[in-house]
């Protein structure tokens, strides 16, 4: 594979020069076309270069492109209102960030400031960003050993994997017993988690039903905050506007990025409880010079309007069911499809029953991703599973064509 020399990234290999992107299609500079099953990792949920979102950015560029943190441009105020209105009443304030890493870092700081506690409970082999704090939440140890030490007082638990044991309630029960041991000490500021589904770079584990509700109950019991990272699950990806809606849980903090602007602006958000922050956070104030840059805000505002106007989550739910049904029909007897799972259009499966649990499947997954790519289907290389996360607006024809490619590659292994 050609190696790039522009931006060094040890985790994600460079694949191609992106010459054009539109809807669910990408083109390289040789003019070859690809159906996209990645959405740039859950970012272009409304399709690449969505014309309405892009127009909102260019219109804003003619008005104002910057508002420092002690001011508010009209587009920022409008977006703050629209975004917090999309959440339960208690979640009524928002902090301005430039992306997922910064939003999560702010959430960690808010949790410590509000509770006066230092420990954070999170999950091993998850991804929440690139700062020292967010890497400490769960990044793979091998990738971070050269920059150690990260941040002290982070406790990484094993994620309760719904497929580990049947019935899944048993897994949940064991997990909750372990979690309660940590929370009982009353030293834990926050439990930091995605809402029942890990989307960060390919772990794609799904928790047993009732996971988020149970974590909410336990955190409340011990005065620990619940922080839900919706950077990957937000903006209709899982068949609801936000992942917390699946169990109607109200966390203390929700973080957002990626699908927030459909890729048209660098923006992140921390939605939280104004009363809680005002009363307990003291002098701590998260700020960011470029957080909620008006251009990115214009994109985010239009993005949310479209999600709500078109009920995009319903599309995600319907198309996700279609994908699962087709994969079941074609590959249910194939050893290269195991543990088919996911919500909405965030779908994944493990690829070999020959591999023992915990064993690295990444080589086989890369073979599949490479072969699909040769045949015009772009998948994110998720490392240890195959992930299907196309733009939610993808046409059924393109969805079926992409699936046919994936299925034929798997059958040919």
Ligand X SMILES: Cc1ncc(COP(=O)(O)O)c(C=O)c1O
Per CB under 6 A, does 263 bind ligand X?
Answer: no
- Relative orientation angle of helices 74-85 and 294-310, to the nearest 10 degrees: 40
Helix (H, G, I), strand (E, B) or coil at 96: strand
Nearer to ligand X, 266 or 403 (CB): 266
Nearer to ligand X, 127 or 159 (CB): 127
Per CB under 6 A, does 286 bind ligand X?
Answer: no
Nearer to ligand X, 200 or 344 (CB): 200
**Which residues partner with 348 through β-bridges?**
341, 387
C-beta neighbour count of 319 within 10 angstroms: 21
Name the helix (H) or strand (E) containing 119.
strand 119-123
Helix (H, G, I), strand (E, B) or coil at 188: strand
Q: Do the bridges between strand 154-157 and strand 188-193 make them parallel or antiparallel, or are there none, so unpaired?
A: unpaired
We find the least distance from the C-beta atom of residue 256 to ligand X, in angstroms, to be 10
We find the least distance from the C-beta atom of residue 385 to ligand X, in angstroms, to be 15
User: Rounded to whole angstroms, how far apart are CA atoms 360 and 362?
Assistant: 6
Which span (17-25, 98-106, 166-174, 275-283) binds ligand X, by CB under 6 A?
98-106
We find the least distance from the C-beta atom of residue 192 to ligand X, in angstroms, to be 10
> Residue with structure tokens 């958000």?
269
Nearer to ligand X, 9 or 166 (CB): 9
Nearer to ligand X, 215 or 337 (CB): 215
How many residues of this chain interact with ligand X, rule: CB under 6 A? 15
One residue of 36, 73, 194, 252 binding ligand X per CB under 6 A: 194
Binders in 352-381 for ligand X, by CB under 6 A: none
Give the CA angle between residues 99, 116, 226 to the nearest 5°.
Answer: 50
We find the least distance from the C-beta atom of residue 258 to ligand X, in angstroms, to be 6
One residue of 23, 196, 200, 243 binding ligand X per CB under 6 A: 200
Which span (16-24, 116-124, 192-200, 292-300) binds ligand X, by CB under 6 A?
192-200
Nearer to ligand X, 198 or 394 (CB): 198
One residue of 38, 45, 76, 104 binding ligand X per CB under 6 A: 104
We find the least distance from the C-beta atom of residue 128 to ligand X, in angstroms, to be 4
Name the helix (H) or strand (E) containing 386.
strand 386-388
Give the CA angle between residues 210, 380, 132 to the nearest 5°.
Answer: 70
Binders in 109-148 for ligand X, by CB under 6 A: 127-129
User: Rounded to whole angstroms, how far apart are CA atoms 298 and 77?
Assistant: 11
Binders in 41-80 for ligand X, by CB under 6 A: 41
User: Rounded to whole angstroms, how far apart are CA atoms 241 and 303?
Assistant: 12
**Residue 10 is encoded by which pair of tokens?**
């040890």
We find the least distance from the C-beta atom of residue 200 to ligand X, in angstroms, to be 4
One residue of 40, 99, 251, 294 binding ligand X per CB under 6 A: 99
One residue of 232, 251, 391, 402 binding ligand X per CB under 6 A: 232
The phi-psi region of residue 69 (left if phi > 0; otherwise alpha if psi is between -120 and 50; otherwise beta) is alpha
User: Rounded to whole angstroms, how far apart are CA atoms 244 and 332?
Assistant: 30
Binders in 319-338 for ligand X, by CB under 6 A: none
Which span (175-183, 193-201, 275-283, 343-351) binds ligand X, by CB under 6 A?
193-201
**Residue 341 is encoded by which pair of tokens?**
């799972």
Which span (72-80, 97-105, 206-214, 364-372) binds ligand X, by CB under 6 A?
97-105
Q: What is the CA radius of gyration of the chain?
A: 21
One residue of 229, 252, 315, 346 binding ligand X per CB under 6 A: 229
Helix (H, G, I), strand (E, B) or coil at 190: strand
Q: Is the dihedral of CA 330, 336, 342, 347 positive or negative?
A: negative
Per CB under 6 A, does 101 bind ligand X?
Answer: yes
User: In sequence order, which residues have a C-beta less than 8 Å from that of residue 366 and are 6 or more positions away?
Assistant: 381
User: In sequence order, which residues have a C-beta less than 8 Å from that of residue 38 and are 6 or more positions away?
Assistant: 378, 379, 380, 387, 389, 390
We find the least distance from the C-beta atom of residue 100 to ligand X, in angstroms, to be 2
We find the least distance from the C-beta atom of residue 101 to ligand X, in angstroms, to be 3
User: Rounded to whole angstroms, how far apart are CA atoms 322 and 317?
Assistant: 9
Which span (52-60, 65-73, 99-107, 300-308) binds ligand X, by CB under 6 A?
99-107
Residues in contact with ligand X by the rule CB under 6 A? 41, 99-101, 104, 127-129, 194, 199-200, 229, 231-232, 257
């Amino acid at each position: 594979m050609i190696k790039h020399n522009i931006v060094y990234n040890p985790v994600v290999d460079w694949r191609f020069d992106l010459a054009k992107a539109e809807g669910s299609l990408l083109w390289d500079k040789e003019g070859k076309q690809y159906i996209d099953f990645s959405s740039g990792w859950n970012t272009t949920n409304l399709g690449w270069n969505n014309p309405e979102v892009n127009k909102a950015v260019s219109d804003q560029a003619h008005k104002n492109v910057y508002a420092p943190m002690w001011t508010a441009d009209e587009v920022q105020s409008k977006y703050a209102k629209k975004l917090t209105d999309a959440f339960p009443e208690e979640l009524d304030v928002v902090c301005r960030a430039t992306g997922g890493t910064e939003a999560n870092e702010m959430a960690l700081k808010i949790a410590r400031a509000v509770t006066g506690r230092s420990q954070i409970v999170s999950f091993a082999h998850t991804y929440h960003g690139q700062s020292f704090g967010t890497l400490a939440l769960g990044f793979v140890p091998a990738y971070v050993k050269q920059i150690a030490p990260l941040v002290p007082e982070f406790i990484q638990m094993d994620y309760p994997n719904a497929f580990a044991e049947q019935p899944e309630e048993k897994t949940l029960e064991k997990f909750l017993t372990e979690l309660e041991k940590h929370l009982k000490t009353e030293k834990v500021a926050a439990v930091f988690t995605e809402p029942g589904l890990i989307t960060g770079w390919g772990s794609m584990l799904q928790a047993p039903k009732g996971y988020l509700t149970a974590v909410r109950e336990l955190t409340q019991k011990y005065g620990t905050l619940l922080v839900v990272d919706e950077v990957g699950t937000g903006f209709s990806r899982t068949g609801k506007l936000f992942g917390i809606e699946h169990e109607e849980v109200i966390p203390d903090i929700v973080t957002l990025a990626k699908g927030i602007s459909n890729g048209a602006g660098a923006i992140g958000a921390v939605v939280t409880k104004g009363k809680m922050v005002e009363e307990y956070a003291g002098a701590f104030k998260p700020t960011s010079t470029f957080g909620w840059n008006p251009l990115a805000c214009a994109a985010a505002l239009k993005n949310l309007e479209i999600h709500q106007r078109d009920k995009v989550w319903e599309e995600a739910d319907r198309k996700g069911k279609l994908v699962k049904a087709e994969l079941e029909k074609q590959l249910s007897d194939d050893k290269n499809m195991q543990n088919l799972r996911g919500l909405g259009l965030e779908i994944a499966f493990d690829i070999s029953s020959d591999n023992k649990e915990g064993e690295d499947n990444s080589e086989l997954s890369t073979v599949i991703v490479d072969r699909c790519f040769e045949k015009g289907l772009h998948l994110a290389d998720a490392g240890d599973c195959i992930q299907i996360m196309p733009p939610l607006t993808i046409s059924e024809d393109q969805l079926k064509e992409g699936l046919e490619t994936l299925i034929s590659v798997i059958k040919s292994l």
